[in-house]
Amino acid sequence: MKDHLREFVSQNKDAFNEHSLDKERLWGAIEQAVETKKGPQLWNWYKPLLRMAALLVIAIGITVFMYQPQASNNTLSQGNELVNIDAHYKAIVDFQINMIQQNTELSTNDKDDFLHILEELDDEYLSLKEELELGINSQKIIEAIIRNYRKKIQLMEHLLVRSQQNDFPEHAQEYNL
């Protein structure tokens, strides 16, 4: 079949080359078809309304965009405040937990019971932190987190003082914040 096609093409090569494309006539037909499809333009009546609607949408978008960063800056400052509070109190709590664990005067049962109480306070801290993420009355929640840390520290101080009073009642020390 390919041979027949090649033979036909080679025999009629001159007939294929004779046909020339009239680009001007073809382009003129395309232009006429496009012009006839235009018809009456109804958009001219709607253009001013569309422009005003687009401007209104842009203005609303800019307004919404301008007010969003202020809300996120507020949550960022609260987040930074919480990070600072956590860093300060966590260092104190970790130091005192280390002192309790190294204290030889306390029995392991007393240490375990006390650490269990601290775990309950940690659970309360986590629930407060979840409430803080909701963003409702965040200042009171931060104050509750601080009270939680202070309660932990106070309990640890009392435990350490009691264990030291058993050995050295005259040299008992208490750390106040």
Domain boundaries, given as residue ranges, for the chain: 74-171
Q: What is the pLDDT of residue 16?
A: 72
Q: What is the pLDDT of residue 71?
A: 47
| Nearest partner of 95 among 152, 163, 172, 147, judged by Cα | 152
- Name the one residue in this structure whose structure tokens are 């009642």: 169
Q: pTM for this one?
A: 0.48
- pLDDT tens for each residue of the chain, 177 residues long: 678 888 888 888 877 776 667 778 888 888 887 765 555 555 566 677 778 888 888 988 888 877 765 444 455 566 677 788 888 888 888 888 888 888 888 788 888 888 888 888 888 888 888 887 887 777 888 888 888 888 888 888 888 888 777 655 454 455 555
Q: What is the pLDDT of residue 135?
A: 74
**CB contact at 8 A, 173 and 161:** yes
Q: What is the pLDDT of residue 105?
A: 81
| Nearest partner of 175 among 165, 167, 161, judged by Cα | 161
Angstrom distance (rounded) from CA 37 to CA 39: 6
